[in-house]
Each structure stands twice: as C-alpha cells, then as structure tokens.
Structure 1
Amino acid sequence: MYEKDYFIAICNYNIWMCQYGKKIEALKPEPSNNAPVAFESATSFINMPVTIALADVEGQLNKAFPGLMYEDNNVEDDKIAMKVWKTAPIRLNEENGRLISVVPVKINAKVKYGTSAMGIDMYDTREFDLNAIVTFKSNVGLVNWKLNTETQIENLEWQESPTVTIAGKKVMITYVINPAIKLFKSKIETRLDQALSKAVDFKPQVLDALEKLSAPMLTSPQYEAWFALNPQELYVTDAKLGKNQVTMNMGLKCSMQTTIGQQPKSSFNRNAIVLKPVKEMPDKLNVVVAAVSTYESASKVLTKNFQGKEFSSGSRKVTVQKVDLWQKDNKMIIALDMTGSINGTIYLTGYPNYNAVTKEIYFDQMDYVLDTKSVLMRTANWLAEGMVLKKIQESCRYSIKPNLEEGRNNLLPYLKNYSPMPGIFINGKLGELDFEKVQLTNNAIIAFIKTSGTMDVKVDGMK
C-alpha cells in the first residue's frame, strides 16, 4: 500500500512539473551602495545687467555728505578762511550721458581786507554768511567695482552778491570770494568724486547675489535632487549713464551642477571673484536637468510592459508576472518572476541607455547574471538562447517623458522673476532637451538631460 501511494505521488509530481514547469532557484545579486551622483555641465555664461537708479545714488551721496563739505581755518595765507555746508539734499540728474549734481551750500567766510603802507598794516577782518547753488558735472566710468567720476564745478550761482558793510556802505567783495572759490574748487571736486565712488560700490550687492545663487537649491524633495551654480569668473562692460540710471552689463562664467542625494556644499568664495573688463558679453546658458525615475516606479512600468506576453521556444513558454529593478556595481539588475515551463525568478543585467527619439530608457548589453545563466544551462537551455533574450530585452524599456517634464518644471520657478534677496531678480528660458548620460543611484535611475537657453540676473538698486 505504501509503495502504491508513493508511486501515485511521484506521478502527480511529474504531472505538476509537466503542467507548471520546472522550479529554478538562481542566486539573487544583492544591490550595492553608491555615493551620491553629481554631474557638472559644460561652461555657462549668465547675463547680469546691473541697474542703479540715480535716486538711489542720490540717497547714498547725501549720507556721505551729512553737512560740512569743506573747511579752511587759516586766514593769514590767502586772507580768507572758509567753511562750506550743504544746506539741502544734493540733487542728481543726467544730461547727455553726464552726471549733474546740484548742491545748495552755505558759506561762512572770514575775510581780511585793507592795505599796508609805510610799514603800517591797516587791515580789518569781517565774518559773513553767504548762500549759493553749486552745479557739478561729472563724466562717469567704472573702476574696480565702483563708479568712477571726473567732476568739475560747472556753475556757482550766488543767492546774493558777496558784500561787507564799511562805514555804513555795502562794499562788493566778489573779487575776494571768487579767488577763494578757486582754492577750494579742486578739493571739493575730489571730495565729491570720492563720495560718489563710495556711494556706488556695487560689489557687496553682486557678491551677495552670487552667494545666494551658489547655495544648492532643492528642486525635488521626493528624489533629493539638488541644483547648484558654481561661479568661476565675472565680466563687466563700462558703466553708462542714461534715463536717470547707471547701467552696466555683467556676465558670470560658471558651471552648473545637478546632484542626487545629500545636500552638496556651496563652493562659493567671495575673495576669489575678480571683475574682468570686456567689450562684449558672452551669453549662453547650459543647464542639466535630472530626470529621476525610481526603481519602484520603473518596475511597475516594466511589469505592465510584460502583461499578456509569452516568450516561447517550440512548445516551451514562459510568462513574466513581475519585474523588479536595482543596481549593482553600476549595472542594472532586472529580476523577472516567471511562470510556465519555468517557475521562479531569473536575473538579468544591463547598462541603462536613452533613446532620444522615443524618450525611453532601455538596457544595452543585456545578459543573464552569471549564476542565472549557469542554472538555465542545466535546467532550461532553451531560455538561455539569444532569440528569447532579445524578445525579453525589447520589453525592458519605458518612457521617461513625464520625468523629463518634471525635471524641467522643477527648474522653471527659478527662472520666472525669482528673487532670492531684495533687489535681485532672475529670469530665463530653456530650449530643447538633449541627452547627456544615465547614472544609477541606490534608489533611482537618473537620466541627465542638457538644455541650453538664456538667463538674466538683474541687480536692481542699492538696497
């Protein structure tokens, strides 16, 4: 009875094996751990127009001249001592590309007048206050981050004629005052140039903007995708004055980096940025967009690709029920759960690549993992044949067009009037997408897609 039952059991097992196929047990390749992926793009040039309203310069200039503008207390050398104060805010405007400064002033003067005859000095000293409007005209340039001006007094308009009262009569002393004006003329012109240079030092604003731009931005929290800009050189054209504003065009030479994983450190060094004068400004932006596809999402897509498909050789056939993906040593591992003439999981390996026409990820040089191939050679040699493998490979592809759009859209908010700090505005456009390369991380397939375009970082004002 026992032998009969054993025989029946053996027959049932053989029937099951014929019906459901052989059970295979291939060794699973364990995933490996990689460091975060970083990719640095080709060199980019970012246009950085700098615009400073004369109203802002005016405000800074009035801070530099709070009151006293000139002082000379020695009356003996030229028979006049003089102090000059600003009595109202300095007003700036533009005329034919030159800077016009209008300064209301109060002049306190001590004038020594009289004669010397027969060895007897007959001098007297009088003190008086005068009001005038002084107009300065400046040529505008740019030197070492600062506004460079060459200023001259254009006009001095007395509110009243300089006089003193002698013996009850008013005596004109313009002949004394005007030479004195010439004495302080060069000093006050130099002082105004120094104040303008100090008032329009745009280096802090530009470096603050670059530091903000260099800070890595988290463009996709879900995939831990970071975008960073690494400044290399800064170019500038000469400053121009027009429409009541100072303008200059700057260009940033930089590289752009996309990183997946931990937040990268900023490489910005304020002290290393040097301003280089140029005649023309290059303007070409290269940006790398990271199209992130997690292994989980890619596995679901591939599983759908295999639904309803049979892979056969003669009367033997298998159906793929489930696909799983992971990486090992920079290769993709594709695990296929199969039923049919073979039951179990087999493992393939391949290198991910990108089809720019179909916008699909596919796998090059696909082959069975060595242990899987060894098992198939012993149990199911027909499945190890190249023809079946080729058919399987054709189903191992999936579109990343949605991922590309997602990666592109993650950057767009930073190109539409984005303001990382007051007075700084970023705008730009992106062109067509071009494939760069595919890299594997612990959790995802990253397709790096390069796109060109333009980018403006406008520095507006003296905030």
Structure 2
Amino acid sequence: MKKILCLLSISILISSCASTQKIEALKPEPDDAEPLLYDNAVSFISIPVVAKLKDIENQTNKVLNGLIYEDKNIADDDIEINIWKQAPITLTNEKGKIKTVLPLKAFVKYRIGTNKLGIDLYNVKEFNFNGNVVLLSDVGLTNWKLKTNTEFKSINWNESPSVNVMGKAVPITYAINPAIQLFKSDIEKSIDEAIAKSMDFKSNVLDALDKICTPFQMSETYDTWLRISPTELYTTEAKLQQDKIMFDMGLKCTIETLVGQKAAKNFLRSDIVLKPVAKMPDHISANVVAVSTYADASKIMTKNFAGQEFGSGSKKVKVQSVEIWQKEGKMIIALDMLGSLNGKVYLSGIPQYNEQTKEIYFDKLDYVLDTKGRLTRTANWLLQGYVLRKMQEMCRYSIQPNLEEGKANLLKYMKNYSPMPGVFINGNVGDIQFQKIQLTNKAIIAFVKITGDVSVTVDGLK
C-alpha cells in the first residue's frame, strides 16, 4: 500500500511538472540604435490682431505728457514759447486716418521795442492761453511697431489775448501763428513717437511666443507634452477700420507631442524676424507629430493585458509584461508569459491606424518564425487562431485620449484666454485628422493634422 501511494505521488509530481513548459525562443534583435529622426511637416497659424483705437489713445496719453515744445531764446525772433499737453489726447477715425486732437496750453513771452545805439528799448509781455491742435496720421506697421505718419493740420486758440501797439489792441496770435512753423514738426514727431512707443508689439509678441513655445503637459495619465518650435513670423500691413486698428500675424512652426519626460524648449528670441507679407491665410493648418516611445507604448500595452488569460481548458497563460521595438519596418511584440507556458514569445506585425477608434493596432500579427517553431514542439495550443486573435485585440494602443485631451487643452487657450490684461485670444479647433505612421528605432511616430482659427483682440489694455 505504501508503494502504491509513493508511486501515485511521483506520478502526480511528474504530471504537474509536465503541465508547465518553458520556451526559450530566439529574440529578434532591434535595429541598430540611431538618432531619433522623423519627418516633421511645417504648420502655419494665422492670428488676426485687432486693437481698439481707444486703447491706443489710452496708451498714447500715458506716454505723451508734460512739456511738448520749448523755445527759450527770445533774442532771435522776439518770441519765447513753451507748450504743454493740457488734457488727454483723443483719437478718432477720419476717412481712414487717425485724427488726433491735442489740447495744449502755451506760455508766451512777446518782446516789443527796439535796440538803438546799444540801448534796449524793449517791453516784454507774458501771456498764458490755450487751444487745440488737430493732426491727421496715416497708419502702418514697421519693425514690430504701429507706425504713423502725422501731419499738423490746424491749431485753434480758445482765447486771443492782445497787446497795445501804438495805442491799438493787437491780437498776440498774429505773432504766435507764424511761430507754429517752428514747433509743428516737433508736435508731429511727438505724436508719432508716442504712438509707436505705446503700440510696440515686439516685447508682447515675443513674451507670448516664449509662453507658447514652453512645452506643456497635455495628459498626466499618458505623460504627453506639446512642443511648438517657431521658425518664422509674418505680418500684413496695419489698417484702420472704424474704431479699430487691424492686421494679421502668421506663425510658421513645427508642432510635436512627445511621450515621456518633458521636452526641451526650442525657442530663441533673437532668432525671430518679423517678415512683411501682403496677405495671410485665414486659418490654422497644424501638422502635429505625436511621438510615442516604445518604452511608453510598452507600458500602456502591458496594462491592456492585465488580468487577461489565453488558452483553453487547463492550458492557460497570463502575460506579465509587454515589450515592443522595431525591426525591418515591422513591430516586434515580446510577451512575457506565466502559466502552462513560461518564457517569452515574440509576435510581429505592421502598425496601422483605426480612424473610428483612434487606435494604433498591428495588422498581420503573427508569431515570428523561431517562436512558431518552438511552439509547434512545446505548446501547439497557443498557435490556435482564436488565441492569436485575442492577443491581437490586446495589442493596440489608443491615441484617442491623447487627441481629446490635446484638443481640450488647446481650447483652453481659445475661449477668451487673456495672457495679459486687455489682450484676449479666441478661436476654434476643428477635427483632428490622422495622416500616417512612421517607425524609428526608438518610437512610433503618428502624424495628425489640425485645422481651426484663432484671433487676438486688444480691448482695455492696461
């Protein structure tokens, strides 16, 4: 009886050992490690800019203050004039030009008399009076600045003080008005410089680009980062329409979404040159590169296999981990198995994209040749078609969450987003269209195209 029990125990032990088999298939080595290179199509983002004339007026008033013109030499023409801005400037549209009304006050010293035999026989009178200067300006955009070409049109005095000359009251304006020729160019220049300084877009645009070009995390779950790298910046001529200054800017750039650690910023302020163009497209045409490293895609696919069993009856395996890489234009998928079969099996397939599910999957998935030979001898049941089909269902990588989160993050910057007080960004993002897949030695590269529109409005600039 003891012999029988001993033989039975040995039989069970042998049987249990025979039910777990080990496979040692040859690993298809990845292609040589080369630098991560891929084709990145150029994107173009058109940005119409609208600045309200009232904001330009407010900024100009901040810049232009106090003394505008000063003439302290009374000896050359018997007149000395100091002119100050008296009240806020107003800017309006007059037939496509900026009409500037500048309230001013003047302090005038007027000298009456003569110099005979070295004896001064002068009588100096002092006057304070005020008026309004009217100017008209053409509008342009030069070297990042709103450029105006201002022309002095008229000056209207609110009062006309007089002096007694040979017993007659003579209005002092007869002496001051010719002197306007002396200071009108100074006032024209002051207005042009003030508007240019108040509407210098360079620092604002470069600050905005600096923020835009700082890679930001689109998805914490998938650890994806969006990076924009600008190459050129364009602008059309500025135009005055109703109460607004309008022009178009355009950004030529490359756009990438990178999976894994935060990417470095590709932006140098000194390299950006503003190029004038006659016309700009009125939409966004963005070609986005989605870079998914094999290491990160492997982690996601490992999650897909969690809790899944493959096989039939008592012969089943579970996939402990997944590792993928590229070899000769195909994806190699290594499945580390535990159960009725221990060890790694290797599948190969061609990556494809499912437009409906937004998934990268692997077409023509099959065991690599050496793996298939080993399974024929050790675990032929794993070669059954339905097992392979079930594995193929798990061997997919959805980029839909990435696309949706990416779109949602972009929309945050297009719903009255204000990067600075008084500046607002609005726009829309259209459908995200898949273009193609490119394999490199380190990553799966998915190319998608995004269309939409965006605009910038300056309203209430501080």
TM-score (structure 2 length as normaliser): 0.81
* One-letter code aligned to 1:335: L
Greater CA deviation, 39-48 or 75-84?
39-48
The corresponding residue for 1:326 is 322
Equivalent residues in 2 for 1:33-48, closer than 5 Å: 41-48=40-47
Equivalent residues in 2 for 1:35-184, closer than 5 Å: 41-114=40-113, 123-166=122-165, 169-184=168-183
CA positional deviation for 1:49: 2.0
Task: Assess, with a 3 A threshold, how the Cα gap between structure 1 residues 106 and 276 changes in structure 2: closer, same or farther.
Answer: same
Greater CA deviation, 202-211 or 427-436?
427-436
Q: Distance in 1 between matches of 2:392 and 2:263?
A: 38
- Assess if the C-alpha contact under 8 Å between 1:38 and 1:260 holds in 2: no
CA positional deviation for 1:296: 5.7
Q: Distance in 1 between matches of 2:415 and 2:40?
A: 22
Q: Distance in 2 between matches of 1:350 and 1:84?
A: 84
The corresponding residue for 1:313 is none
Greater CA deviation, 135-144 or 172-181?
172-181
The corresponding residue for 2:208 is 209
Q: Give the root-mean-square deviation of aligned CA atoms.
A: 4.1
Q: Distance in 1 between matches of 2:325 and 2:319?
A: 20
- Assess if the C-alpha contact under 8 Å between 1:354 and 1:435 holds in 2: no
Name stretches of at least 5 consecutive residues in structure 2 with no aligned partner: none
CA positional deviation for 1:278: 0.6
Greater CA deviation, 256-265 or 56-65?
56-65
Find out whether 1:222 has 2:218 as its counterpart.
Answer: no
Greater CA deviation, 3-12 or 65-74?
3-12
The corresponding residue for 1:239 is 238
* Local SS of the residue matching 2:24: coil
The corresponding residue for 2:353 is 355
* Local SS of the residue matching 2:179: helix
Task: Assess, with a 3 A threshold, how the Cα gap between structure 1 residues 150 and 227 changes in structure 2: closer, same or farther.
Answer: same
Task: Assess, with a 3 A threshold, how the Cα gap between structure 1 residues 261 and 30 changes in structure 2: closer, same or farther.
Answer: farther
* One-letter code aligned to 2:234: Y
Q: Distance in 2 between matches of 1:448 and 1:257?
A: 10
Task: Assess, with a 3 A threshold, how the Cα gap between structure 1 residues 319 and 407 changes in structure 2: closer, same or farther.
Answer: farther
Name stretches of at least 5 consecutive residues in structure 1 with no aligned partner: 311-316
- Assess if the C-alpha contact under 8 Å between 1:144 and 1:275 holds in 2: yes
Deviation track 1:190-212 (CA, whole Å, cap 9, x = no partner) reads 22222222222111111111111
Q: Distance in 2 between matches of 1:180 and 1:106?
A: 15
* Local SS of the residue matching 1:24: strand
Greater CA deviation, 162-171 or 7-16?
7-16
- Assess if the C-alpha contact under 8 Å between 1:285 and 1:453 holds in 2: yes
- Assess if the C-alpha contact under 8 Å between 1:212 and 1:420 holds in 2: no
Deviation track 1:118-163 (CA, whole Å, cap 9, x = no partner) reads 9997643322222111111111112111122121222211112241
The corresponding residue for 1:269 is 268
The corresponding residue for 2:22 is 24
